[in-house]
Structure 1
Amino acid sequence: MAMTRSTLREYFHTEYQPGERKLVQKIDFFILTFCCLSYFTNYLDRSNLSNAYVSGMEEDLGFVGNQLNIINTCFTVGYVIGQIPANLSLHYVKPRYFFPACMVVWAGLTMVTASAQKPQSIMAIRFFQGIAEATTFVGTHYILGSWYTERELGKRSGIFTASGLAGTMIGGFIQTGIHSSLDGRNGLRGWRWLFIIDGIITLPVALYGFIFFPDTPSTTKAFYLTESERALAVSRVPPVEDRSPVSWTFFKNAFSSWLFWGFVVLWIIAGETESFSTNTLMALYLKKHPTTTYSVPQLNNYPTGVPAVGIISTLFWATLTDFLRGKRYLVGYFIGITGVVTSAMVLAASKDPTNPASTAVVFGAYYWAGAVYACQATFFAWANDALRYEQHMFRAIVLAGMNLGSNAVNAWWSIIFYGASMAPWFTKGMWAMIAVSILLAIWTAGLSYMTTKHERARRAEFTESSSGVVVDHKIAEYA
């Protein structure tokens, strides 16, 4: 009990160097406000497609079969193509220029979607939108890992991820408001207004980032940081030599590293445990409900409970794993259990589809499944922790590779297991979810063993070193 009280006291009363608390408050404000607003608008612009689909776009544009899934796949292909180039670009183009420029592009493409007359047009638009949005998630995790200590990282990653879920959640309410107030205004349907308004909302955030975003500790020229604060920011993170990554040796060693593949495969598996939410299965279930016809406001509002649960779960696990000194792997076991149980609930409900209790079970399953969003912040924080002493751009490659691998699989996974034509029960998808959930628990156990072993070896090597400088022996491999 005394140890627990001591741990709690240490966690909530962190000892800072002189001036460090003020520095952390500044970077919290300027980094997190921009990153969270950026991710909020990113998910707002991304999730509006499903909101529009159930709000009249399907009928207006004559969607057939799995065309909605094909559009999502086009976005995913662009997103995959852009991952590694986008993160490597942060080595050459200052983030305060690169992030806002990408935002302006995807905002423009979002507004252009309002003019679409057929599903094929949206397929082309979403492909390029995917490229523009590629750096938002992994690029931000790279920036967070550059500024924050291991003790601080989980909470910040959780807040950032929660902002994206807030965009998904609020998107439903925005669409409801737009549909009721603007549907038919100036001859435009409500779902078209949604794309226009979402795009406009993004532009002020891009301007804010261009003015205030501080880049990285070693390159920042932010006017609100003093010279001593810039030096302190550099001293808070491990002194890792940062060389240009454009060389055959760098890529060869990076792609042959067990750290790369360990975390890439982790996120490939974990990404598919989010399939219930990312494929908006609850909205499609309501749209194709076997006995009940739901109104447009209900179709948009009821699924908002999914990201709401995701926000709570994300913040809880991000904070808890910080408190537990970085035991991020625990989330993998929680998600494994969640995936198995929620899938079993939907499968059981499908056996008696006209029973009112069946609907209640499905609602409960999809809301609970929203909790798996916790893996986004926690697993990327885990990767940042494990790669803290590696070359910066190797860390960027791993983070980008994680999202690339996950989306490359999701591009076809969603069509095979969660096609819109499979609504309302997605039986194949439920069995696929059970399989990946079990696999996630197994992979998490193996990776946690390897990363713990790697960290012990690094500490032993540092202890034996007489230089007193924390330098990982693997850094030289990426030169």
Structure 2
Amino acid sequence: MRQREKSISSISLEDVVCSHGSVSSTERRLLRKLDFRLIPWLSVLFLLLSIDKNNIGNARLGTLEKDLNLIGNEYYTALTIFFIGFVLFHIPSNLLVKRLRPSRWISCTMILWGVCSLGQAFTHNAAGLIACRFFLGVFETGAGPSAPLFLSFWYQRDELATRVAIYFGSATAAGAFAGAIAYGVLGTLEGAHGLAGWRWLFIIEALPTIVFGFLSFIMLPDTPETAGKWLTPEEKQVAIERIQRGGNTDEKSFDKKQFVAALIDYKVWFSVVIYIGLNIALASFSIFLPTIIRDMGFDSLKAQLLSIPPYIAAACLVFVVSWNSDRTLQRAYHIVVVCVIGVLGYVFLLATTKVGLRYTGAVLVACGTFPIIPLTLTWVSNNQLGHTKRGVAMAMTGMIAQCFSILGAQIYRAEDGPRYIKGHTICLIFLSLAACSACTLRALLARENRKRDELYGVPESSDMFGLNIEDLYDKHPQFRYAL
């Protein structure tokens, strides 16, 4: 054991980065291991989670409302209650993820999520469906939003957006899978063994979630400091020093000063506004896309199939945009461009009755919303030092914005079909607000960087290794905000 500790401590930062500034072979090896172990597994988990969250929209095209005797606003209440559970437990989840160990917290909440999703198949009234949806919202906070925070324990600022994009890109792939699965299940299993097709849909999509939740106890690591034998001593030390270079040197799982600092940080509140604009569009799009396409004049089964291409296009764009954002370390410009694409999509949906152009608008809306998720969350993570401050900032961004997802779940009413003018207009306005907020935040951060350059000089590097950031965190003279 002592020999092992000696071999680790003998590795210096010079071994991490070569003298000419390139990444060392040890760090390249470490990144490959991280990318092959963390990203695919988390992406599968989020894919399953996204399918389970949004499949109520696919189930609605079956006989769900009729079988459960849903009347009045009960279906919309079931949609809304999900976001209430999500909002209430968002910050507690991000504070618990490190204290209870990421592998245990993510795995447990994933299993419980799957159980609640499965429970929807055996409900017989509105109350049962609403209860299941509430606890789905509660447990998503552990299996979904905690993952980007978990990834920030392992990746650097200019590496994070691409990895978070792959993770959240699985949500767009989930939309494609959901449409294909729903088409097959509702078309072939209706009435099988005395169960309606929508019940089979919940069963078939929930069981893999539970299985992968149990497997996650084995597959997911925790932090670099507690990494097991899958990392060599050299790789483990490099992983630890990489995190220290990014300013993650605080040992506390909860810091009251950081908690308060996150609550009053204007950067966080601008990010909240950006995410609000996204979430109103995203919540409505994910749930109501099959209905919107059906009301273009297609039958229910064909609408399931036609919901696939928008998600495929969005999945491709999520990766490309996030990769370029990491390459340039520019977040705001990419957010604005993506918002413009989404706004154009809503213009198409609003301005014409031609099916081809309206369907093109649906594709553009998907491309203009999903990429904003990794870009915004990565931007928040990049500009917060300290585990508590970062965790609370990311949780606030998602939590407050999800309150407005309740609006997104309510704005598409049957009586407004088939054009849904009110719903499309609301989404267009809020996406425009997100773009304006991103521009404003970038200008404020650029001004702050210029002030620090004038007062303290331009830093030779962005590394925070060996610097005392206690009580200063992202206000440290060496630190510069990502734009």
TM-score (norm 1): 0.87
Instruction: Give the Cα separation in 1 of the matches to 2:214 and 2:452.
Output: 42
Q: CA-to-partner distance for each residue in 1:337-390, whole Å, 9 max, x for gaps?
A: 2233222222222xxx5xxxx222211111111102110111112222222xx1
The question of whether the paired residues in 2 share the 8 Å contact of 1:96 and 1:209 is answered with yes
Alignment partner, residue 378 of structure 1: 375
Match of 1:336 among 330, 336, 339: 339
Instruction: Give the Cα separation in 2 of the matches to 1:55 and 1:15.
Output: 56
The question of whether the paired residues in 2 share the 8 Å contact of 1:263 and 1:398 is answered with no
**Match of 1:183, as an amino acid?**
E
- Give 3-state SS (helix, strand or coil) of 1:343's partner: helix
Q: CA-to-partner distance for each residue in 1:60-106, whole Å, 9 max, x for gaps?
A: 22333443322111001001111101110012101111101001101
State whether structure 2 residue 262 is matched by structure 1 residue 254: yes
Instruction: Give the Cα separation in 2 of the matches to 1:477 and 1:307.
Output: 36
State whether structure 2 residue 432 is matched by structure 1 residue 438: yes
294-303 vs 401-410, greater mean Cα deviation: 294-303
State whether structure 2 residue 394 is matched by structure 1 residue 399: yes
The question of whether the paired residues in 2 share the 8 Å contact of 1:103 and 1:203 is answered with yes
Alignment partner, residue 117 of structure 1: 124
Alignment partner, residue 313 of structure 2: 309
Instruction: Give the Cα separation in 1 of the matches to 2:256 and 2:250.
Output: 16
The question of whether the paired residues in 2 share the 8 Å contact of 1:253 and 1:477 is answered with no
State whether structure 2 residue 16 is matched by structure 1 residue 22: no
Instruction: Give the Cα separation in 1 of the matches to 2:87 and 2:95.
Output: 14
The question of whether the paired residues in 1 share the 8 Å contact of 2:86 and 2:140 is answered with yes
**Match of 1:433, as an amino acid?**
C
Alignment partner, residue 76 of structure 1: 83
The question of whether the paired residues in 1 share the 8 Å contact of 2:274 and 2:433 is answered with no
266-275 vs 52-61, greater mean Cα deviation: 266-275
Alignment partner, residue 169 of structure 1: 176
TM-score (norm 2): 0.86
The question of whether the paired residues in 2 share the 8 Å contact of 1:310 and 1:374 is answered with yes
How far 1:332 sits from its partner (Å)?
A: 2.5
Q: CA-to-partner distance for each residue in 1:299-318, whole Å, 9 max, x for gaps?
A: 21111222112101101101
State whether structure 2 residue 55 is matched by structure 1 residue 37: no
- Give 3-state SS (helix, strand or coil) of 2:153's partner: helix
Alignment partner, residue 144 of structure 1: 151
Alignment partner, residue 10 of structure 1: none
State whether structure 2 residue 196 is matched by structure 1 residue 193: no
Alignment partner, residue 226 of structure 1: 232
Alignment partner, residue 69 of structure 2: 62
Structure 1 124/461 Cα, relative in aligned 2: closer, same or farther at 3 Å?
A: farther
Structure 1 133/275 Cα, relative in aligned 2: closer, same or farther at 3 Å?
A: closer
State whether structure 2 residue 275 is matched by structure 1 residue 267: yes
- Give 3-state SS (helix, strand or coil) of 1:236's partner: helix
Q: How many residues align?
A: 448
Alignment partner, residue 16 of structure 2: none
Match of 2:407 among 405, 409, 412: 412
How far 1:252 sits from its partner (Å)?
A: 2.6
237-246 vs 468-477, greater mean Cα deviation: 468-477
Q: CA-to-partner distance for each residue in 1:105-162, whole Å, 9 max, x for gaps?
A: 0111111110111233211110011101113332111122221122322211111111
State whether structure 2 residue 54 is matched by structure 1 residue 47: yes
How far 1:209 sits from its partner (Å)?
A: 1.6
The question of whether the paired residues in 2 share the 8 Å contact of 1:69 and 1:419 is answered with no
**Match of 1:424, as an amino acid?**
P
Instruction: Give the Cα separation in 1 of the matches to 2:414 and 2:374.
Output: 28
How far 1:333 sits from its partner (Å)?
A: 1.8
